[in-house]
Structure 1
């Protein structure tokens, strides 16, 4: 198996990212709705600002996953960022999530002076919870009935990694 490479997402990546987020197993673990628009991805990737870093993972030219690092624009929270990550179902448990998360943490902590990285994860997403804990994220709270998914409300955990 060839190596995973991480790079900044570009506007021409809209189609493969749209394909990933169109997978039911993927969008069910996010706040995205089914049947996402490719125009939404084109818009996201054409928006370039200093508060959003969008990275993707690929192997042998195939896009396998995506992570966004979103810096807090409030001056008193300029040390904080949130992340959102997803990995194509067929690429889960192959190191893609670890590679994306490691790259985002490196960018945040070693280049952007971010000392707090936050995320929200569904309480039943055991794969993601294990990944985040492996990278030093800790659960800070639980939101009951956080989101509606597949006809029922689901809880979520608020997690953070704080570098002191």
Structure 2
């Protein structure tokens, strides 16, 4: 492993751990300051802080599975996904900054939600974005990091990779 590779891994670890810490801190703050199912209006007509428990996955997936089986299944899926992310990250070149940053964000977010699911059987969601009567699904810092990380990977695949192909032709 080159010096650049070691430095890049340290940066990735720092990003992932920072996301994990921010996620856990914000969820704890919500648990302590907002009653379950209550809302605090932050930006009228657009943003509330809420306190909800998500026992399923994104968009209500697996909501009909019994709690015990769901917790085990969701934990197993998260562990397999995190193992795959780490394995893939080892294959990514140190100079592929966008891909490595995306993987670090996804891993940090996955760890944050995994801790909640494994310890409590649910994830605390608290960001409620809405327009008029339409409310998007509530989410948290971990979900945001996973989404941004996935966006970085998509950008890396389509924008950076196509640039590499066109410059090598």
TM-score range, shorter chain: under 0.3
Larger RCO: 1 or 2 (CA < 8 Å, sep 6+) = 2
Larger Rg: 2
